[in-house]
Amino acid sequence: MDETQLRAVLGEPAELVKKKIADRLNPLTRQFVERSPFVVVATGRPDGGLDVSPRGDPAGFVRILDERTLLLPDRPGNKLADTLTNLLGDDRIALLFLIPGVNDTFRVNGRARIVDDPELLAASAVEGKAPKLGLLVEVEEAYTQCPKALLRSELWNPERHVERSELPSSGEILRAVADPELDVEDYEDARTERYRRREGFY
């Protein structure tokens, strides 16, 4: 299928929809970044693959340096560092901001580079710990996304929430794919205790 065939099925977006895509934030759209505690980050691997990774912190953790520049702090993780290593070879980045209870989302597409300037990152400290690295994002496209996906999924409806116990645990998955000798109960207990102490959060 080429785009002509695709458009024959879908039709064309309305002019108003086309015009909503801006190349910077404004006093209205910046509020979606300031109130968001969660963002999904998409990057591309040099080998052509893709990666999507969640990031979360207190609301406003993605700092607005100016209308065309964002700073996304990098917190401790499992050290696979997919997003960071991807950006070393391909600086394209896409962000999807979510706000609990709000069905509209906010999208930013642009370019990013890794920064390690302690002075720049100091304001991103949480619980007294500043990140060692951050992503400086140059905004190329910024726009709200209509709420249909969240309305259809009823994402914020507590009656639709799933009990974690209904799904396989992380330990069970690790044992199945990585280590058949893994003691799942010990693994889960240790992880729960680390999270209770917020070890490695910041």
Number of structural domains, the chain?
2
* 79 — pLDDT class (breaks 50, 70, 90): confident
pLDDT at residue 46 in the model: 85
For residue 77, pLDDT over 90 is answered with no
**Count of other CB atoms within 10 angstroms of residue 172:** 14
Same domain assignment for residues 45 and 109: yes
Same domain assignment for residues 74 and 133: yes
* 104 — pLDDT class (breaks 50, 70, 90): very high
Residue 129: domain span: 3-153
pTM of the model: 0.94
For residue 143, pLDDT over 90 is answered with yes
Q: What is the mean pLDDT of residues 47-63?
A: 95
Sequence-distant (6+) residues with CB within 8 A of 39 are 54, 55, 56, 62, 72, 95, 96, 97, 98
CA nearest to 115, candidates 78, 70, 60? 70
Name the average pLDDT for the chain.
Answer: 96
Same domain assignment for residues 181 and 100: no
For 151, the 3-state DSSP assignment is helix
For residue 156, pLDDT over 90 is answered with yes
In a domain, 93, yes or no: yes
Would you say how long the chain is, in residues?
Answer: 202
In a domain, 61, yes or no: yes
In a domain, 201, yes or no: no
In a domain, 202, yes or no: no
Same domain assignment for residues 105 and 37: yes
In a domain, 124, yes or no: yes
pLDDT tens for each residue of 17-41: 999 999 999 999 999 999 999 999 9
Report d(CA 67, CA 24) in Å as an integer: 5
pLDDT at residue 186 in the model: 96
pLDDT at residue 78 in the model: 86
